[in-house]
A and B are shown apart, each in its own frame.
Chain A
Amino acid sequence: MSYFENPKDFSEPQIARRVNLNSGLAIVALLVLISLGMIFRGGILTATVPYEDEENGIRGQIPLNWLLDENQSDYVFRVEDPNARPFKTLIQVSLQTVGPDANPRSVVDLLVVQGPDRLPGYHVQSILQTNLGEDEAVEIQYSFIQSDPNPFLQSVPVVVQGVDLVVLRGNQAVILTYRDAVENYERNRPYFDRFLQTVEY
């Protein structure tokens, strides 16, 4: 039976208390929902999906809802965070054919030589010997200037920091790349680290 059917069964203070209680519960429920939503959203933002390119023999977990591009000649695939500003956080895998005497460092030398032609303001910061899983790797840290080629837009050039991780497999070098605006580089690096943990080549 409700208050509206038999109002005289409830005194006004009782009604007010009950309504307040109900409303309070509703607000608490909403707050719980919001919290759950944020946790769920956080899960979505850090979620990954499997990526596999059988032809090139590359497999790994890539961030969910990043824009996947695998139709270019100079890389196997590339994913970009569509939300990121001012530079679209990028993870990329490319392959380079090498000779039997090549080592990761010789590939890095080639990347350093080609860098200024591909990336304006290209500047190498460091070259480190490292490992990817059990494989020997060389990591090259660099920066460059990203500017919009459209002269009609008032874009301020963005200083981008990048890393190329080079490992060899047979007669190919696998180059794993991460790039982000210098101010977001460390914050978003975990995306790349998670990819490195799952990548198979």
Chain B
Amino acid sequence: MSKFAKTQRRLWFISVLLLITLGIGFLNLLPTPSQAQDEDTPPLVRLNEDNIKKATVFIMQTVETSGGPVITCVGTGTLVSADGLVLTNAHIVEATDNCPADRTVIALTLRTNEPPVATYIAETIEFNRGYDLAVLRIIRYLDGRNIERGTLQLPFVELGDSNTVTIDDTISVFGYPEIGNDPVAVIRGTIGGFTAEAGLGERAWLRTTAEIPGLMSGGGVYNRNGELIGVPTIAPARAAGEALECRQVYDTNADAQMDNLDLCIPLGGTISAIRPSSLARGLVRAAALGIQPGSEKAPVDLAPPTEPATFRRLFVSTGVNEAGMPTNIVTSLPTGTNSLYLFFDYQNMQDGQVYEMRATVGGRPNVLYSLPPVTWSGGERGMWFIGGTVPTGWENGVYEFTLFIEGRQVDSHRITIGGGPRTDPQFSDLVFGIQDPLGNLIGANYVIPEGNIIRARFNFQNMRDGLRWQQRWYQNRNLINLTQPAESLPQWVGGSSGTSSDPSITSETGFPSGQYRLEIYVQLPAGEDWCLVRPDIDPSLGDWCLLVTADFVVAGGAGGANNAQALIFSDFRFARDEQGGLPISIVGESMPAGSPAIYVFFNWRQVRPGTPFRWRWLVDNEVLIENRTQWATEVNGENYYFSLVGLPNLPDATYRFELYMGGIRLTDETVQVEVGLGQLPVEAFASARGVQMTGQVYDAATGQGIPGALFVVLLAEFSVEDFQWQAVQVLGRAVTDEQGFFQIPALLPRGTLLEPALYSVLIRAEGYLPANSDGITVTTETASPVNLEVRLNRDLSSYGEIR
């Protein structure tokens, strides 16, 4: 190469370098998934593990002692909104004798590979002991400074639809497995089945065979899309009031000694039950909207039972009807049985107690058919069930179900599945009604108006004429029909199969309101032993078998079609306040915007104290607040009320109130009131709808994070070219930390797939060339957070002093 050529090449090189130096620099914005993934092997679970870990919090209940605050109970929770709503188990945040508490501390997962750091104070704003779910709101820093609502921008997860979960779905469980020592743990598993429980339907619990430590109770269970589908739940098992498993960690009485006088932090056993997110959705929405149940005229306030709690009269049914009653009673089941429910009576129970069912098949413990220790919510007495449906059929074998209360075994029941179709007599589908003038049953359900005759109807098959049978009617658990000698009881003449409306009971004075029960028995023929349920029958009367039973309620007066309906609640009115139990400022169908509370008043007739019922508030047709309770005031009266309060005001929406008894809805769609515009504002749940933007700004030459850089995200309607350095054009901005990391303190609203939201960003840092970018796309499909990596080039022309 000639000297000329060399010189020319050198000069070209220098010129190019200078031009590059003069150039305006370049920006590299690389949207990256938050979780590094191996490209060769697809990940087992497609979820943003890093974000979920950061949304998982450690919850500590503390109590002030003479030696300062000490930790009394711990558990896991999950951030479900950017502004600090935490979903967890109710038992984790409830102060009890075993778990005294005056403060709930939230520890955050600041580094995913490190233990959590106590950061905030939270308060419980939604609480449902029956679901064992609660929602907390972060309100203060640890040093006591208040946090203005809506100012936090924390990582959070969105609730998924637990109703779409199917058996064998892959799940990931996130939570803290140990007290303070370990980082967030992730346990993979699959859905193994579903467990039904009284009052909560077929999917009261999702079940898994994954072995989940008890301290992860209250954490999160996620599907493949990273959506929260449930809360792993177990209540620490106790015996005689003491936790069976616990850790003595702190000198809770500040006497400088660790002994049994110090509180022991309770642990659970192994979790196999997951509370589905469908039960959490209403609580989370109510918390996001700032809606809470308000005062009630006469909330049930039962004194703790003095007698020990018991479970008795265990039997198995293959179905549950809409009133939560067994459709039948089975003594054995054929191969291929899909559904099985263990029913039992309970007495002297107290909400919050821990109960458990352990199942064995052929003598071997079976986790999926068992129910681990969970909190009780059924009230003092009634009929309860646990069970479920297995699509492929329950496996053949001898099942033994054993029930425990607070770690104490109380009763058990055994049944065999296997063999051919049943040939023993079967009764099913028992319903109740009143009698018309022709003697026919009308108005079949489980809520009967007061009257003189109650009639029942049931289906039967495999019956044999000549078998003796008897009906036993109970009012408030007291037998009210006369016991007859066995030989005077009727013999069956109805044939093998069909429907019978024979059972009935008459009272000259009429049946007062209250809880009733009918049991129908058949006498076992000599030499046969197919019956497993023979309770409460005097053995001298022979060997009797319970074939069908159901509870029902007598309440209200007769009305409606054929006078067959029970008219219990009437004259519904909405008011803005109450004083002395009377409505103040009664409103019609609407209330002005900004109302702090709604009161619904109504009158009632013939409702006996202790009668179970259910009430719920719907907001824009979605159930937000629901409770099962018992009637706790006079039999007849006026102006019973429930209320709903807003924090600080109720949002514009349509609020409907519903009452249920015996599975029957006793209110109609007119019991509703519009507040303001009558529908929730579009942005009502914005805190859970947007996308978070996080990332790192670093030096392109050194790879080191740039602290103090400004990262600006413009509102979607502005591009970089439009930007005039006006804050009104800015959606959010953040300054990078010591490592160059940033998080925009506002959520980026999503666009749609057809019309994606396009965002522009600007990055500025002293000593570096500015960087801009348009066209960052956010749609309904965009995973949150959007993570950006920004490389900035040094501004070689920059100089330090500006005058």
A contact set with B: CB distance below 8 Å: 12, 15-16, 19-20, 23, 26-27, 30-31, 33-34, 37-38, 41-42, 45-46, 65-71, 82-88, 148-156, 187-188, 190-191
**Which of B110, B151, B154, B725 is A67 in contact with, Cβ under 8 Å?**
B725
B contact set with A: CB distance below 8 Å: 3-4, 7-8, 11, 14-15, 18-19, 21-22, 54, 108, 110, 117, 119, 151-155, 707-710, 712, 725-728, 730, 733-739, 741-743, 745, 762, 764-767, 770, 797, 799-803
Find the A residue at minimum CB distance from B745. A150
Whole-angstrom distance between the alpha carbons of A45 and B765 in the complex? 14
Closest approach, in angstroms, between the C-beta of B771 and any C-beta of chain A?
Answer: 12
Q: What 8 pairs across the A-B complex have the smallest Cβ distances? A: A85-B708, A69-B727, A153-B737, A23-B11, A82-B764, A86-B708, A155-B737, A83-B766
Given A20-B7, A82-B712, A83-B766, check contact A153 B743 (CB 8 Å). yes
**A148 near B735 (CB under 8 angstroms)?**
yes
- Report chain A residues within 8 Å CB of B7: 16, 19-20, 23
Q: 29 A-B pairs, CB-CB below 8 angstroms?
A: A16-B4, A16-B7, A23-B11, A26-B11, A27-B15, A30-B18, A30-B19, A30-B22, A34-B18, A34-B21, A34-B22, A34-B797, A46-B803, A65-B725, A67-B712, A67-B726, A69-B726, A83-B766, A85-B707, A86-B708, A88-B735, A150-B734, A151-B119, A152-B54, A152-B108, A152-B741, A154-B741, A155-B737, A191-B802
- In the complex, besides A23-B7, A70-B728, A190-B803, 11 extra interface pairs with C-beta distance below 8 angstroms are A12-B4, A19-B4, A30-B18, A30-B19, A67-B712, A67-B725, A69-B726, A71-B727, A83-B765, A155-B738, A188-B802
- Report chain B residues within 8 Å CB of A70: 727-728
**Which of A12, A15, A68, A85 is B709 in contact with, Cβ under 8 Å?**
A85
The listed residue with most A CB atoms (<10 A of its CB), out of B11, B22, B730, is B11
**B14 near A27 (CB under 8 angstroms)?**
yes
**A154 near B14 (CB under 8 angstroms)?**
no
Closest approach, in angstroms, between the C-beta of A134 and any C-beta of chain B?
Answer: 26
Whole-angstrom distance between the alpha carbons of A12 and B4 in the complex? 9
- Report chain B residues within 8 Å CB of A46: 802-803
**B15 near A88 (CB under 8 angstroms)?**
no
Closest approach, in angstroms, between the C-beta of A130 and any C-beta of chain B?
Answer: 22
**B725 near A26 (CB under 8 angstroms)?**
no
Given A16-B4, A19-B8, check contact A68 B15 (CB 8 Å). no
Find the A residue at minimum CB distance from B4. A16
Closest approach, in angstroms, between the C-beta of A100 and any C-beta of chain B?
Answer: 34
- Report chain B residues within 8 Å CB of A34: 18, 21-22, 797
**A85 near B765 (CB under 8 angstroms)?**
yes
- Report chain B residues within 8 Å CB of A66: 725
- Report chain B residues within 8 Å CB of A68: 725-727
Find the A residue at minimum CB distance from B803. A190
- Report chain B residues within 8 Å CB of A23: 7-8, 11
- Report chain A residues within 8 Å CB of B709: 85
Given A188-B802, A190-B803, check contact A33 B712 (CB 8 Å). no
**Which of B15, B108, B801 is A187 in contact with, Cβ under 8 Å?**
B801
- Report chain B residues within 8 Å CB of A31: 18
- Report chain A residues within 8 Å CB of B728: 70-71
**B14 near A151 (CB under 8 angstroms)?**
no
Whole-angstrom distance between the alpha carbons of A90 and B152 in the complex? 23
- Report chain A residues within 8 Å CB of B11: 23, 26-27
**A152 near B155 (CB under 8 angstroms)?**
yes
Given A37-B797, A66-B725, A68-B726, check contact A152 B14 (CB 8 Å). no
**B18 near A148 (CB under 8 angstroms)?**
no
Whole-angstrom distance between the alpha carbons of A71 and B726 in the complex? 10
- Report chain A residues within 8 Å CB of B21: 34
Closest approach, in angstroms, between the C-beta of A16 and any C-beta of chain B?
Answer: 5
Whole-angstrom distance between the alpha carbons of A27 and B18 in the complex? 9
Whole-angstrom distance between the alpha carbons of A156 and B736 in the complex? 11
**B710 near A88 (CB under 8 angstroms)?**
yes
**B727 near A82 (CB under 8 angstroms)?**
no
Whole-angstrom distance between the alpha carbons of A187 and B803 in the complex? 8
- Report chain B residues within 8 Å CB of A65: 725
- Report chain B residues within 8 Å CB of A12: 4
- Report chain B residues within 8 Å CB of A149: 151-152
**A85 near B737 (CB under 8 angstroms)?**
no
- Report chain A residues within 8 Å CB of B726: 67-69
**Which of B110, B712, B730, B766 is A85 in contact with, Cβ under 8 Å?**
B766
Given A23-B8, A85-B765, check contact A16 B3 (CB 8 Å). yes
